[in-house]
Structure 1
Amino acid sequence: MREAPICLWRDISVGDLERLEHAQSSGELCRVLSDWLTAGSPPGDLRSSALLDLYYHALRFCWDSGFTREQTSCVFSIVKETHAACVGSPLGNVAECHGLLQLLLLRHAVLRPPFSSEFFSPQQLLLISHYMVETYFRHFKLYKYVFTPQVNLDLSILYDGISETDETRTTEEAVDKEIEDYKEPDPDGITCGPGWEFCSGGSSYLNGRCYYSPYGRF
């Protein structure tokens, strides 16, 4: 599991928050975030759009909840660390990411320097946890699909002492032999071959033939 650091001013500074707070509209806020987060990305990039949406709503959540600038910077980095854990592996690791989120929240709720510091109350922790579950983790597979490479498994089996060409030839010969040995069954009955047990009763056995019904041999 990833390390759970203390996130105060880790990814966003006081000056950055001031610029974001001075935005007069949602469009201006998105432009400021886009210039900061997605610099160098091509226009219309799917990953850049998803990141912009993720951090825009995280900031809106902090401001609507009345968090201080210090608390906002912590929440911003907690979201960033959780997302980094999600996209760090193409495998399904939702339990690991949720465990990291819980560790990050506890790291910012208990005053125990230098290991943790108290920035949030228990009620605020529940509020942040509920927000992350209802937004990020509810769409966890979508983030995984957008940000991680697709893994394709190409499986081939090669036995010791048999080359791939010999194995293909052996398989083809076996199929041809099955086709040659196959015989259409007699619609009036099937001739009993070696190893078969004859059915008892004159009505079920006639001239070396065993007769069949939809319910088996009779």
Structure 2
Amino acid sequence: MPPTMPKKEKPNFMSDCPGMTNNVPFVLFTDVSEEDVLIMRKQGTSERKHYLATKCMRVDHDEGTFPFEIAADFHFHNFNFGESLKFTPEKMSTFLSMMRTVYNESFDLGLSMSESYELFRHLLLKHSCHRPPFSTGIFELKDVKNISDYVLDTFFRHYKMYKYVYVCIRDLEVKVKPTPALNRGTLKTAFACSTENERDPRTHPFLYDLFEEERRKEYLDQKAKEAEEAAEAKKSFEDRVMGTLARLEDEVDTKIKEVDEKLN
């Protein structure tokens, strides 16, 4: 029996930071050094900054593929955001590595949006309050607000689109064995179809819903017919009563005439 591969468990964001090295829960200068930040800032073109950001973030997808381009743009825009706030090299390095961790862990572990946000919040707080050895104060309060607004408005706004890119697509190839040729000599006489073998589809339970409208129409027609018969019966009864009354009146008139004739 082949050995079972251990499943990669989701991290407990309330205790340890996923992706930490040597049990140090901080990401300062883990991916981008101070020298790397200064080199990227000296580049004159966006293409060059884009290239260096991709190298520093160690995008591990095949270059030129759709996932590679999306991840590269993600890190490049994060760098531009840090530049717009004039982040120090320490803040820039921490922010880029923090977002790299969120990005990779979210899609490698298949985290939901709420789990991914919990990871982001955990990392941000780890680097926003100077409380050694539990956290360090790299970001200020205004940085926390700006980073939170930016990440919510970009990464988490399009989280499902990012996640869709990393859905594993597999092609399933099915091979069917060729059917052997029929030996017509061994075939029995073909089954003869007759009306005795027919079945009314209206009585089949699987087809019951298909004739709902027809049954409803039959029900309404039956009700209309019963109402019409009741009206005819009522009319016939009234006619019989009126006929009887008319006959009685004629008999009474005849009797009266006979009495009058005798008296006269």
Q: Same fold (TM over 0.5)?
A: yes
| Residue 85 (structure 2) pairs with residue 85 (structure 1) | no
| Residue 219 (structure 2) pairs with residue 213 (structure 1) | yes
- 1:40 and 1:140 map into 2 onto residues whose CA distance is 20
* Aligned pairs (5 A) from 1:1-218: 1-2=12-13, 3-4=16-17, 5-37=25-57, 42-90=62-110, 93-149=112-168, 180-182=198-200, 212-214=218-220
- 2:105 and 2:222 map into 1 onto residues whose CA distance is 60
- 1:216 and 1:104 map into 2 onto residues whose CA distance is 74
The number of residue pairs the alignment matches comes to 166
Relative to structure 2, which stretch is displaced further, 35-44 or 82-91?
35-44
The structure with more helix, counted as a fraction of residues: 2
One-letter amino acid matched to 2:220? P
- 1:42 and 1:145 map into 2 onto residues whose CA distance is 17
Q: Please report how far the alpha carbon of residue 182 of structure 1 lies from its aligned counterpart in structure 2 after TM superposition.
A: 2.4
Max Rg structure: 2
- 2:123 and 2:69 map into 1 onto residues whose CA distance is 26
- 1:49 and 1:69 map into 2 onto residues whose CA distance is 25
Q: Please report how far the alpha carbon of residue 123 of structure 1 lies from its aligned counterpart in structure 2 after TM superposition.
A: 1.4
RMSD: 2.9
Greater RCO structure (CA 8 Å; 6+ sep): 1
Q: Note if contact 1:110-1:116 (Cα within 8 Å) is conserved in structure 2.
A: yes
Q: Please report how far the alpha carbon of residue 48 of structure 1 lies from its aligned counterpart in structure 2 after TM superposition.
A: 1.1
Where in structure 1 are there 5+ consecutive unaligned residues? 152-178, 186-210
Q: 1:34 to 1:117 in 2, by over 3 A?
A: closer
Q: Please report how far the alpha carbon of residue 66 of structure 1 lies from its aligned counterpart in structure 2 after TM superposition.
A: 1.4
One-letter amino acid matched to 1:75? F
Query: Percent identity at matched positions?
Result: 25
The structure with more strand, counted as a fraction of residues: 1
Where in structure 2 are there 5+ consecutive unaligned residues? 1-11, 18-24, 171-196, 204-216, 227-264
> Could you list the per-position Cα deviations for residues 16-64 of structure 1 after superposition, in whole angstroms to 9, with x for gaps in the alignment?
2222111112122123234555678544211110111001010111111
TM-score after normalising by structure 2? 0.55
